[in-house]
Chains A and B, each alone.
Chain A
Amino acid sequence: MDEIRSFSRVNRHIDTWPLNYRLGMWAWLLQRITGLALVVYLFMHIFVISSAVWREGGGSFDRVLEHLQSPMFIAADLLLLAAVVFHSVNGVRILLFDLGIGVRTAKVYFWLLMAVAAALVFWGVFEALPFILGTGLREPLVGV
């Protein structure tokens, strides 16, 4: 039997050498990478928001949230948006493929959906820009 040379040392029967990648493998890899990043974000989000709620003292939740809505955080939120949008849109592509839709025109579908993803991210950037530049936030209307 030929000697098995593989990129992975953990399971040598899986050959995931990036030089052999084509478009679909990059999509698979990015789906997993964004997935892992989103898992980390998810549990951070649950923990941070919950501990802000439980924080002692009047108005402390609002103070924490204000800190979390500062321009730097909003810019970081755009990275999160890009990850969420890519993961979702690629996931939709996978769902469609699993139903048999678009398998033969796979490349077209991929780039079409990536165009949708880019549009969504650009929309998010457009919406977020005033807040990053500091001109967007206004105090809530009291008593409305």
Chain B
Amino acid sequence: MVIAEKERAEIMPETAPAPSGGVWAWLLQRVSAAVLLFFLGAHIWVLHYAAHGERIRLDAVMDRLRSPFFAVVDTLLLATVIFHALNGIRMVLFDFGLSRGAQRTLTALLWLFGLLAFIYGTNTLLYLTTGGPLFYLRSG
């Protein structure tokens, strides 16, 4: 006898679908993971092998970022990794079983944090590539 998924979920809660946050979250997590395999590998490779054995110095970094290829790749890497990381956090927290309101709030907070982190990182990248960032941050 076929019973509806909802009824079965009431009788056997362990068969309820995992509340991890929807199909897009699942799919984009995989897509960003595949993209990251490439970008992150390139990032580690370039940083540790391009000038093997030498200390990392600012002028070497700026030289590398002068080429538009690296600047674009680094920015895309930043966006993809922030998305993958925060989407992962979202999935882990959703699995604790949050209410609808909590889910919406959490998603909004994660988007906000992600956008701020991306703007912060891109600002630094802009400074390194063109010398003209969106905003200056003096520290040290």
Which residues of A are at the interface with B, using a C-beta cutoff of 8 A? Answer: 4, 8, 10-11, 13-15, 32, 35-36, 38-39, 42-43, 46-47, 49-51, 53-57, 59-62, 65-66, 69, 84, 88, 91-92, 94-95, 98, 127, 136-141
Contacts and interface: CB of A to CB of B under 8 A. Distances in A.
Interface string B47-63: 01001011111101000
B56 A36 contact: no
B44 to A, nearest CB: 8
Contact of B60 (A46, A94, A140): A140
Interface in B81-140: 81-82, 85-86, 88-89, 92, 95-97, 117, 120-121, 123-124, 127-128, 136-140
9 contacts: A10-B97, A13-B97, A14-B96, A42-B81, A55-B139, A61-B57, A88-B40, A98-B30, A140-B57
A35 B55 contact: no
Nearest to A39: B85
B56 to A, nearest CB: 5
Contact of A69 (B56, B92, B96): B56
Contacts of A98: 30
Contacts of A14: 14, 95-97
A65 B140 contact: no
A121 to B, nearest CB: 13
Main SS of the interface on chain A?
A: helix
B121 A57 contact: no
Given A60-B140, A140-B55, A91 B33 contact: yes
Interface of B: 13-14, 16, 30, 33-34, 37, 40, 48, 51, 53-58, 60, 78, 81-82, 85-86, 88-89, 92, 95-97, 117, 120-121, 123-124, 127-128, 136-140
A78 B81 CA distance: 20
Contacts of A65: 55-58
Main SS of the interface on chain B?
A: helix
Contacts of B120: 46-47, 50
B37 A137 contact: no
Contacts of B37: 88, 91-92
Given A54-B140, A62-B58, A137-B54, A46 B117 contact: yes
A46 B86 CA distance: 14
Nearest to A11: B97
Contact of B55 (A43, A50, A56, A66): A66
Nearest to B86: A39
